[in-house]
Amino acid sequence: MNHLAASELILNKDNSIYHLNLKPEHLADTVILVGDQNRVDKITKHFDKVEVAVKKREFHTQTGIYKGKRISVISTGIGTDNIDIVLNELDALVNIDFETRDMKAEKTSLNIIRVGTSGSIQKDIPVDSIVVSEMAVGFDNLLHFYQSDEVQLQDFNEAIEAHLGTYERNSKPYVVPANASLVEQFMSEQVFAGFTGSNSGFYAPQGRVLRLPLRDDNMKDKLATFSFKGKKITNLEMETSAIFGLSAMLGHKALSLNAIIANRATGNFTKDGAQAVENTIKYALDRIVSA
Ligand SMILES: O=P(O)(O)O[C@H]1O[C@H](CO)[C@@H](O)[C@H]1O
Ligand SMILES: O=c1cc[nH]c(=O)[nH]1
């Protein structure tokens, strides 16, 4: 067997994993991922107790108990490049033996739930609502570095590429589904079912113009008018595609919920982002313990 070299599976002096700074015993099987470090406390303030609190760079982790369930909350920072780090290190914590540096024979499957913020691109999905993503389309290029074809919905890939007329030097969009059982657990009449676009930036990649012109002025409208097999792209953010894709490849279950703080179709921005996020956190925690 090939043991993973020190340069590939990187452990800190205390045997914690490189970026997350966590040891296997620090992690719960249910993991909430948030972009913003300050959101970790906003979630664990609802916990009965917090037993682990570890910080390194933008990766802040707290593990504790909520209504009898052990949950880890981890901030990822912004972007799918960070999701590459977080998902690989989460998987290593449960599925690689840090002593032997080999894969474990028996694999653990985590439940991974993103609680994020996002901008709606459909008029009828207003600010302060919650979108539960059934699917995601990645306009980043992360999944293309992995043997990921099997987890991608190729018919959607082709339909989106044809509709957008993606610039030939950009990476090709990839579409990946959320875990179906988590979608069922989190869906209700209080939320919108979504198809979430994950972009490689906040400004031009999401069709925002401050001072710099876009290569394609119509990109936001093209995203909003895409429709295939009854699905429209509902909202834009920056992590969900990679969370769904890497989780599916690694055998974990993933879902993403986003508080809608901007409506790009109407030009509205929430008047109380903190409350929108708090409502989404409460909804997510409630659904996690409802299983
Ligand atoms: O609020 P978070 O979870 O960070 O999510 C959204 O907010 C950030 C951009 O402002 C991006 O990370 C985007 O995905
Ligand atoms: O419009 C938005 C709002 C939040 N996060 C994003 O990435 N885009």
Nearest 5°: phi and psi at 251? 85, 25
Distance CA 248, CA 145 (A): 15
Instruction: Give pLDDT tens digits for 125-169.
Output: 999 999 999 999 999 999 999 999 999 999 999 999 999 998 999
Radius of gyration in angstroms for the set of CA atoms belonging to the chain, rounded to a whole number: 19
Structure-token pair, residue 132: 């539960």
Instruction: Quote the DSSP letter at residue 25.
Output: G
Q: Indicate the top mutation candidate among 36, 140, 237, 243 to test ligand 2's pocket, ranked by most ligand atoms within 8 A of CB.
A: 237
What is the identity of the amino acid at 258?
N
Ligand 1 binding pocket (C-beta < 6 A) is 34-36, 78, 116-117, 202, 237-239
| 65 pLDDT tier (thresholds 50, 70, 90) | very high
Q: What is the pLDDT of residues 172-193, one digit of tens each?
A: 999 999 999 999 999 999 999 9
What amino acid occupies position 208? R
Give me the mean pLDDT over the 71-98 stretch.
Answer: 98
The Å distance, Cα 44 to ligand 1 centre, comes to: 19
Closest ligand 1 atom, CA of 78? 12
Burial pattern 162-199, b for ≥16 Cβ within 10 A else e, equals ebbebeeeeebbbbbbbbeebbebbeeeebbebbbbbb
pLDDT in tens, 85-107: 999 999 999 999 999 999 999 99
Q: What is the pLDDT of residue 1?
A: 59
ipTM of the complex: 0.99
pLDDT at 219: 93
DSSP, residue by residue, 221-268: HHHHH-EETTEE--EEESSHHHHHHHHHHHT-EEEEEEEEEEETTTTE
Pairing relation of β-strands 30-34 and 111-120?
Answer: parallel
Q: What pLDDT is recorded for position 252?
A: 99
Report percent pLDDT > 70 for the chain. Answer: 99
Average pLDDT on 230-255 reads 98
Ligand 1 pocket test, pick from 36, 40, 58, 78 with the greatest ligand atom count within 8 Å of Cβ, gives 78
Alpha helices in 105-170 (DSSP H): 154-164
pLDDT at 291 over 90: no
Q: Which two tokens stand for residue 268?
A: 């509205």
Residue with CA closest to ligand 2 atom 7? 237
Determine whether domain 24-288 maps to CATH 3.40.190.10: no
User: Ligand 2 pocket check: which of 234, 238, 260, 266 to mutate, most ligand atoms within 8 Å of Cβ?
Assistant: 238
